Amino acid sequence: MMEINKLSSQLSGQIDGTSAADKSKAAALVNKTDTSSSNVSDKVSLSGTGGKNNEEMFAKIELEKANQNSFAQLKDYKAKIQEYEAAKSTSPEAAQETELGKMLNDPAVWEQIAEGILR
pLDDT in the model for residue 108: 93
Compute the C-alpha angle 19/25/30, nearest 5°. Answer: 125
Structure confidence by residue, pLDDT tens digits, 38-50 = 555 666 665 666 6
Domain map (residue ranges) of the chain? 51-119
Cα–Cα dist 24/35, whole Å: 17
Q: Is the Cβ–Cβ distance between 83 and 99 less than 8 Å? A: yes
Per-residue pLDDT at 74 = 96
Q: According to the model, what pLDDT value does residue 38 have?
A: 53
Q: What is the mean pLDDT of each run of 10 residues along the chain (119 residues)?
A: 56 53 60 53 62 85 95 95 93 90 90 92
How far apart, in whole angstroms, are the C-alpha atoms of residue 94 and residue 81?
13
